[in-house]
Amino acid sequence: MEKTLSGENAVSSVTDATMAVCVLPGTELAFASEVRYADWRFGSLMRGAAQVKTPHKTAIFREINKGQPGIHCDALEFPDGNVVLLTRLYEGQEATVLQLPAETRVPIEVTKQEVGLIAV
């Protein structure tokens, strides 16, 4: 998977950049090389966005800023706890899905059963 060339800040198939790929929150990704992204801190914006390269090649896909309309919510969480919005990633980075998120377990409602004891 890689970032699309369309500038939509979406994830796409490596073989077809026009095909968007849905990534579930909690999906673990392995990148082909260290992940590169734009540094959008205030000081760096004054000088122009600097490129940051993480020492990490793995990340977990997260949804942040939920419930805030108009705010980007797709992000990567790196092993050091750093969270970076997908919109900050540079295009053309390839990643492979290492592990899908664990399935959410929905509790099954148990019917209460009376157990009768028989004295022998």
CB 49 within 8 A of CB 38: yes
* pLDDT number for residue 7: 44
* pLDDT number for residue 47: 54
β-partners of residue 3 are 11
Determine, yes or no, domain membership for 104: no
Q: Is 35 exposed, middle or buried (0-12, 13-18, 19+ CB in 10 A)?
A: buried
| pLDDT tens track for 37-50 | 988 765 545 555 68
Q: Domain containing 35: what range?
A: 23-99
C-alpha 93/C-alpha 26 separation (Å) is 19
Determine, yes or no, domain membership for 115: no
Residue 87: band (very low, low, confident or very high) from pLDDT cuts 50, 70, 90: confident
* pLDDT number for residue 105: 60
| pLDDT tens track for 6-59 | 344 567 777 777 777 788 999 999 999 999 998 876 554 555 568 889 999 999
Determine, yes or no, domain membership for 113: no
Q: Hey, how many other C-beta atoms are within 10 angstroms of the C-beta on 106?
A: 6
Determine, yes or no, domain membership for 4: no
